[in-house]
């Protein structure tokens, strides 16, 4: 019997294969979530990035599998499609059986978060200093 880590890796790959075979596609939404739809069936599911533990991306999904397999990094085929979309965007990579955030994405994310702190506190930075930066 396989221990949990290799089994979780195999499950992620199997979920992705099922999603591709069923014609699922992913669209990034303005809030940073991913809408996954199947061409063959009505309905769609929202996938979110729940967190990063030990460098591994952890996804959540609004589908039933996403709810009861929430302990897995990739709980369902919709999350697998969303992870592949992150790879196409250059933000994630498949490494050692799990999805990891690329270093460039980490830097971009930190810059965006830092920039948002300036937007929230415009009175703290004089206009002349903000223009000089």
* DSSP labels, 75-87: -SHHHHHHHHHHH
Both 93 and 115 in one domain: the answer is no
Is the pLDDT at 48 greater than 90? The verdict is yes
Both 83 and 94 in one domain: the answer is yes
Both 79 and 127 in one domain: the answer is no
Both 91 and 125 in one domain: the answer is no
Domain range for residue 114? Answer: 102-133
Q: pLDDT digits over 93-131, tens only?
A: 988 778 898 888 888 888 888 888 875 655 555 555 555
Q: What is the pTM of this model?
A: 0.70
Both 79 and 53 in one domain: the answer is yes
Residue 17 C-alpha from the chain's centroid: 18
pLDDT of residue 6: 63
CB 101 within 8 A of CB 57: yes
């Amino acid at each position: 019997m396989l221990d949990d880590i290799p089994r979780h890796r195999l499950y992620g790959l199997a979920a992705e294969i099922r999603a591709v075979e069923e014609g699922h596609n992913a669209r990034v939404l303005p809030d940073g979530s991913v809408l996954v739809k199947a061409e063959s069936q009505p309905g769609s599911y929202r996938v979110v990035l729940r967190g990063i533990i030990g460098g591994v991306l952890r996804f959540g999904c609004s589908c039933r599998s996403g709810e009861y397999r929430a302990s897995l990094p990739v709980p369902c085929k919709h999350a697998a499609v969303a992870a592949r979309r992150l790879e196409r965007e250059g933000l994630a990579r498949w490494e050692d059986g799990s999805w990891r955030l690329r270093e460039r994405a980490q830097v971009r994310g930190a810059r965006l978060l830092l920039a948002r702190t300036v937007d929230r506190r415009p009175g703290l930075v004089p206009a002349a200093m903000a223009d000089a930066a």
